[in-house]
Structure 1
Amino acid sequence: MVCDKCKSELNDETKPCNKCGEAPSSDDEGVVKAKLQNDGSENKKSGLSVKRIIGLFIITLLISSVGYWFYINRDNRVGNTGGNIANSGVVSSQGRWTYFRNWPEGSSLYRVRLNGKDMEQLTEDRSEYINVIGDWVYYKNWSEDGSIYKIRIDGSEREMLTDDEAWSLFVDEDWIYYRNFSDGSTLYKIGLDGENRTKIADDKAGSLFVDNGWIYYRNEEDNNAIYRIRTDGTERTRLNQSPSRYINVVDEWVYYHNESDNMIYKMTVEGAEHTKVDVNNAYYINVNNGWIYYANASDDWRLYKVRTDGTEPTKLSDDRCWNINIIGDWVYYENIYDGWRLYRVRKDGSNNEPVFSG
């Protein structure tokens, strides 16, 4: 180190200069400047870090908002759930709208926003088996002898697709599958434009559930045993021997009501591992997210749920119900106590309410 005054070399930087007697500096200005520069740099880095965090948060929020918008406004791949179709398909949904059958208004077709606002009638047709895909609602029209109709989601361009008396109609991408009562309740499919009407099987079918390229149904010519067949009409197979109703296929399991003992059973989609679920007198079953929702005939047809392993039976409503449909976190049903008006209740049993008033 050198003396600040005469620039002579210092033998001891803590003592005065041997040549001119100048006292050593009490502070090293270079060190101070360096420290100030470092502190400023750190502050800048800190400021940049905060800005970067805020920017990332805003970007994440925007991406989440856009993703949610696309999710809530997406078009359906299938027109309804199989569990709802097994319960007459009285409710379906797409985007921000719920489509439903309004029994007190002649079973006509209505829609209402998810928040309960802007309810409107789409058609006076007596409707059932409601399916919604894209810009169209497909349904069974009881006002025209059970024919299959479609109408735009805004209520325009109503059109008949076939005059077959259709039951259990289910829309899966480009096809409508149904039981054709005009031909002995045999299995059919038809294109969404009403073209390519095709017979799939000659069995007299009761119930129908389409899942992953297969149609599951009960064969009324074979003691109502459950069969399955591919949607192209191949690989027809019997899965059980019991008289069965309310078929639901979920996560590779087939759930059904066994008419021999009025119990719920399940088996694999290949017809193996037949298992009794400890639930008695359960009707109108709809299986959803690990729970079976049902009308309990042992408790005057009130609404219950139970886990798919038979545990935690829980009453959800004291209303007498039928045609149990599920949309999101809500369980819909037609209330026998209130003129078959459509009601809903959350899956935890809260917010039991009519879907509409009047």
Structure 2
Amino acid sequence: MNKKFNARSFSMFLVAAFMFSILGIINPNELEVKGAETIPQVSVASLDHAPYVEGDSNAFFVASKGYTGQVQYQLFYTSPKTMGTRWELVNNSDMVNGWTKAVNAQDTAKIDITGLNLKADYYRFAIRVKRVGVKGKYSNVYGDYDSAFPFTRVVLSKGDINLNGDLSINKTSFTPSDSLQISGVEGAASDVEYKLHLYDVKNNKWMTDLTSYGSSIDYSLNKLSSGAYIVDVWGRRKGSSSAYEGWKLQTIYVQEEILPKIGIVSLDHTPYKEGDNNQFYITTKDYSGQVQYQLFYTCKTTMGDKWELIEADGMVNGWTQPQDAKEPVKVDISHLNLKAEYYRFAIRIKRAGIKGKYSNIYGDYDYALPFTRTVVKDSSTNLNGKMLIDKEEYSKNDQLVIKGVEGASAGTQYKLHLYDAINNKWLLNLTDYQNEINYDLSNIPAGTYVVDIWGRNAGSRNSYDGWKLNTIKINSDIKKIASIEDIQLSTIQNFSFKLPTTVAATFEDGTKANKSVVWDRAASTAKVGEYTFSGTVIGYYGNVKLTLTVEDNRGNTHGNMNNLGIVAYDKGWVYYSNYDDEGKLYKEKLDGSEDTKISDDPSIFINVLGEWVYYANYSDAGKLYKIKTDGTGRTRLNNDQSEAINVVGEWIYYSNIADGGKLYKIKTDGTERKKLNDDPSGFINIENDVIYYVKINDGGEEQPIYKVKTDGTGRAKVVNDLVAWFQVENGWIYYSNASDVMNIYKVKIDGQGKTKLNNVPSLFLNVSDGWIYYSNLEEDGVLERIKLDGSSKHTITSYSAMMINVIGNNVYFESMEEDDDSLHKITVSE
């Protein structure tokens, strides 16, 4: 073999002069790098092995320096002998348009060139690198790039040594406590010896001659930091005088050594009373192998500075038996017979079968944790007994049932927490305090858990008076549910409402439990209507059906409230002011049956929402009251004379006559009373969080309609006319225009589209179900109605009607006749 020629071809990373004119692949002007811009440069471009013999599989190992982001590489080659001045782009199955997949610049990329089928010859290569997602500093016909590197390689017709096979390495992922073990290269001759070098990709640094030549390599990695390394094994025949006759490469990764730490260490129960049996529950975090524990204790009062090693059954030299790090270990300390004192403890942990990171006279270990505990003489809280738990292994959708602690005081209540030993995570406050715990495990992942129940004595105001621990396992088995009944619920429009998180389920064995449910979507209360939801429950092979009825969030209609709110409707009942009984509050069915007095209060401006009736009580100067629909819970909400009352959701809006009729709001529980404007306000209408009202004038040509937001901002005039009566309905304002002899007009809420609807003086307007009801003052106040476009005029009754209230097809009104004090009702046929 020509040694001079081999020395050049086997040079691992030939630092060649840049080639300045190879079909524009590299341009000398493009080699200038401005210091202000950080761009990647190729630091390594080496064959997987040498010698490279015709017919070998081979690849280039490539890495970058001077950059920390992601990069891509592009490779070109030529042979002056067979290709002349023509260059070819290397494009294998792992590349796109000749570019490798994105890789971290501080990692290696491997470009397979086996498919080139290179014959024995001299080859020139050029490799380009670019940042991912950033336009390259330079550009040519092959695209943009940041830097380029030329080099040469030789393919031989035959070689004296064969390093084409796989490197026989113990693994490719290491920690600093590991050894790198290499037994050779598959297919190499038995007399080949090997020598180790490493290239630190991250720091662009060679570590050479790490071993002498030998039949195998065993090298400790304890001095290596984390990162990617190229293993470069030189090979030569035994007895050869050459520095090397070939090499073989492999990428390895060194990761930071993961040491176990203590997850929890807790007593079985507190308070720890003198004479109690007790033990420590111990878990590990940040490690997944097997571990062992060692415990020490001391008491300054009785032991001075002396520490004692705790030896319990099953321990050897104070160490527990090897145990999976994800499984809790119990160390019994009952035999220590600890007296009422303050104690210091220390716990140590080590990986089973691996030398610990630290060492002292008690042996090696990986981590230590000090902690303290106090033993008391006596306590009124006793949680020393057995936890009354139904079992210790549960199905995925089981109920965790705990009936307390044996021997605990009567009246002790319990609260549940779980510690996830696998994921080192506390699941806190899973229940409130209660006499027994019955908790659905459906949403708890399979695994091992420490059950931690807090105990609190009857009448105690402490967060807890003690605790009791146990361990359980949750498997992935599913208990079958036989049936879940459909659910019917109702709520109010625009109220905050969440679907139930549990449903009542019956299992195949007949037992019942509330189980977690996942619904197909969240509930919206934006629109009135009936909505159906489908829910899934673990263990139930059907779907749970829930029907939600969203009811109007108003206590009454605008039209009724503008006419004193004499009647209101809710869930089949009509609530009304009984004119035949001094205006007292009554309710009756829609057909007039089951007439029932609710309150002796003379009531107008009646609103009904949920289980409450809201009204102005004229036995108490018109102040705002509420009473439940069954006549209980009568409550005064304010001290204002309140008119034009509108209950919308959680708020009540009203005109405060005691303050000149100004607009106020107050919560339905009587709190957060607030003034919203300084205008004398009548005919309050509320739509989409905007309040519309008439600004009442003592005289003049205008009595305009204004609007203001429900928070009191955004006051603006909407209608300039002298308005006698009005109602907002679905984006339109219908009003009696006293500027035009009280004819009915309509206009959009933005003030546009003003339209006259009739030619008769009209008062007491009530818009309902597509009709406008009104009193025709030209005909002595007879009750009429027209369509919303002014058509289909129809006289309902010859009665002179005022204060027109409408519920469905029933029209309620007072007579204008002075000697008629009754509340009239008439049913309108379509």
Same topology, TM > 0.5: yes
Opposite residue 732 of structure 2, the aligned amino acid is: W
1:78 equivalenced with 2:554 (yes/no) = yes
Q: CA offset at residue 75 of structure 1? A: 5.6
Shift of the 286–279 alpha-carbon distance from structure 1 to 2, 3 Å rule, reads farther
Post-superposition Cα deviations, 1:29-80, rounded to whole Å, max 9, x if no partner, equal xxxxxxxxxxxxxxxxxxxxxxxxxxxxxxxxxx9xxx8xx99x97652100
Matches within 5 A, 1:309-348: 309-336=789-816, 339-348=820-829
2:676 match: secondary structure: strand
Between Structure 1 and Structure 2, which shows a larger proportion of strand residues? 2
Who is 1:131 aligned against? 607
- Which of residues 715, 725, 744 in structure 2 aligns to 1:236? 715
Q: CA offset at residue 200 of structure 1? A: 0.7
Contact 1:316 1:348 in 2 (8 A): no
- Which of residues 598, 618, 628 in structure 2 aligns to 1:142? 618
Shift of the 345–285 alpha-carbon distance from structure 1 to 2, 3 Å rule, reads same
What is the rounded CA distance, in whole Å, between the counterparts of 1:77 and 1:207 in structure 2?
A: 19
What is the rounded CA distance, in whole Å, between the counterparts of 1:91 and 1:205 in structure 2?
A: 22
What is the rounded CA distance, in whole Å, between the counterparts of 2:745 and 2:592 in structure 1?
A: 36
2:719 match: secondary structure: coil
- Which of residues 155, 158, 162 in structure 1 aligns to 2:638? 162
Contact 1:76 1:134 in 2 (8 A): no
What is the rounded CA distance, in whole Å, between the counterparts of 1:220 and 1:118 in structure 2?
A: 41
Opposite residue 274 of structure 1, the aligned amino acid is: K
- Normalising by structure 1, report the TM-score: 0.75
1:202 equivalenced with 2:686 (yes/no) = no
1:218 match: secondary structure: strand
What is the rounded CA distance, in whole Å, between the counterparts of 1:275 and 1:196 in structure 2?
A: 40
Who is 1:356 aligned against? none
Matches within 5 A, 1:20-35: none
Who is 1:283 aligned against? 763
2:592 match: secondary structure: coil
Contact 1:208 1:247 in 2 (8 A): no
Who is 1:8 aligned against? none
Post-superposition Cα deviations, 1:262-287, rounded to whole Å, max 9, x if no partner, equal 11111110111211112411110111
Larger Rg over CA atoms? 2
1:106 equivalenced with 2:582 (yes/no) = yes
Contact 1:206 1:224 in 2 (8 A): no
Opposite residue 655 of structure 2, the aligned amino acid is: R
What is the rounded CA distance, in whole Å, between the counterparts of 1:250 and 1:84 in structure 2?
A: 13
Q: CA offset at residue 336 of structure 1? A: 4.2
Q: CA offset at residue 167 of structure 1? A: 0.8
What is the rounded CA distance, in whole Å, between the counterparts of 1:323 and 1:106 in structure 2?
A: 17
Which has the higher mean CA deviation after the structures are superposed, 129-138 or 281-290?
A: 281-290
1:239 match: secondary structure: strand
Contact 1:75 1:94 in 2 (8 A): no
Shift of the 300–137 alpha-carbon distance from structure 1 to 2, 3 Å rule, reads same
Opposite residue 245 of structure 1, the aligned amino acid is: A
Higher RCO structure, 1 or 2 (CA under 8 Å, sep 6+): 1
Who is 1:247 aligned against? 726
Unmatched runs of 5 consecutive residues or more in structure 2: 1-487, 489-529, 531-545
Contact 1:225 1:239 in 2 (8 A): yes
Opposite residue 174 of structure 1, the aligned amino acid is: E
2:734 match: secondary structure: strand
- Runs (4 or more) in structure 1 with deviation over 3 Å come to 73-76, 335-338
What is the rounded CA distance, in whole Å, between the counterparts of 1:113 and 1:335 in structure 2?
A: 23
Post-superposition Cα deviations, 1:64-97, rounded to whole Å, max 9, x if no partner, equal xxx8xx99x9765210011110111101011121
What is the rounded CA distance, in whole Å, between the counterparts of 1:212 and 1:92 in structure 2?
A: 21
1:278 match: secondary structure: coil
Who is 2:566 aligned against? 90
1:297 equivalenced with 2:777 (yes/no) = yes
1:339 match: secondary structure: coil
Opposite residue 688 of structure 2, the aligned amino acid is: N
1:117 match: secondary structure: coil
Who is 2:30 aligned against? none
What is the rounded CA distance, in whole Å, between the counterparts of 2:759 and 2:805 in structure 1?
A: 19
Which has the higher mean CA deviation after the structures are superposed, 207-216 or 163-172?
A: 207-216
What is the rounded CA distance, in whole Å, between the counterparts of 2:739 and 2:733 in structure 1?
A: 17
Coordinate RMSD, CA, aligned: 2.3
Contact 1:89 1:128 in 2 (8 A): yes
Who is 2:689 aligned against? 213
Opposite residue 822 of structure 2, the aligned amino acid is: R
Q: CA offset at residue 220 of structure 1? A: 2.1
Q: CA offset at residue 334 of structure 1? A: 2.1
Contact 1:214 1:231 in 2 (8 A): yes
What is the rounded CA distance, in whole Å, between the counterparts of 1:91 and 1:74 in structure 2?
A: 22
Who is 2:591 aligned against? 115
Post-superposition Cα deviations, 1:137-173, rounded to whole Å, max 9, x if no partner, equal 0001111011000011111121100010111000001
Opposite residue 633 of structure 2, the aligned amino acid is: E
Who is 2:176 aligned against? none
Opposite residue 265 of structure 1, the aligned amino acid is: Y
Who is 2:753 aligned against? 273
- Which of residues 735, 741, 755 in structure 2 aligns to 1:256? 735
What is the rounded CA distance, in whole Å, between the counterparts of 1:85 and 1:332 in structure 2?
A: 13
What is the rounded CA distance, in whole Å, between the counterparts of 1:302 and 1:204 in structure 2?
A: 30
Q: Alignment length, in residue pairs?
A: 283
Q: CA offset at residue 208 of structure 1? A: 1.1
What is the rounded CA distance, in whole Å, between the counterparts of 1:279 and 1:251 in structure 2?
A: 24
Post-superposition Cα deviations, 1:161-191, rounded to whole Å, max 9, x if no partner, equal 0010111000001000000111111110000
Identity of matched residues, %: 36
What is the rounded CA distance, in whole Å, between the counterparts of 1:346 and 1:279 in structure 2?
A: 26
What is the rounded CA distance, in whole Å, between the counterparts of 2:670 and 2:815 in structure 1?
A: 34
Opposite residue 148 of structure 1, the aligned amino acid is: L
Q: CA offset at residue 331 of structure 1? A: 1.7
Between Structure 1 and Structure 2, which shows a larger proportion of helix residues? 1
Opposite residue 217 of structure 1, the aligned amino acid is: Y
- Which of residues 703, 720, 742 in structure 2 aligns to 1:224? 703
Who is 1:178 aligned against? 654
Shift of the 271–74 alpha-carbon distance from structure 1 to 2, 3 Å rule, reads closer
Opposite residue 310 of structure 1, the aligned amino acid is: G
What is the rounded CA distance, in whole Å, between the counterparts of 1:142 and 1:289 in structure 2?
A: 31
